Amino acid sequence: MTPSSATFRTRIKICGLTREQDVDAAVDAGADAVGFVLYAKSPRAVTVERAAELARRLPPFVVPVLLFVNEAPDRVQAGLVAVPGSMAQFHGDETPELCGQSTAEGRHRWLRAARIPLGAAGAGFDLLNYAASYSQASAILLDAHVDGYGGAGKVFDWSLLPTAVDA
């Protein structure tokens, strides 16, 4: 059976929220997922406890996503347990093996951020190979590669990437 086009629809995740009114606005705008940054060096970082508090505002079918950058597997697992129904997003230098280990080998769903180089360098990024390497991820999230971690609101040239990665 071939998956329906709905299986491959674009999902919207709004990330870096720290205030109740922003979580509510994201939900009202139709976000599929809301991200909470658990990377202490980010200006949008929250504690696991704060993420859990904010996630309790989410209605059914809006998924809380916990963003980690090069975090120890036990801390990732503790975060996922503390925020029921959450999934992990790895945004650092994590290998596929570390992502699996950090999510208790499949007990928790996870996303992998692909950091796409800005400008013409984006043409050299092999998204198909990247997606194949992280095939256990529930999804690949595309973000601009900037100094540090996170896209910082920058836009990469989407036209340099393949139009489909499900081949």
As annotated, the active-site residues are 15, 143
Going from the C-alpha of 58 to that of each of 8, 9, 84, 106, the distances in angstroms are 23, 21, 11, 24
CB 123 within 8 A of CB 158: no
Give the strands of the sheet with 63-68, arranged side by side. Answer: 13-15, 33-37, 63-68, 87-90, 110-116, 139-144
| Three-state secondary-structure class, residue 73 | helix
The 8-class DSSP code of residue 79 comes to H
Total Cβ atoms within 10 A of residue 128: 14
Rounded to whole angstroms, the maximal C-alpha distance in the chain is 45
Kindly report the length of the chain.
Answer: 167
Residue pointed to by tokens 């360098």: 121
Instruction: Please report how many Cα atoms fall inside a 13 Å half-sphere around the Cα of residue 162, on the Cβ side.
Output: 11
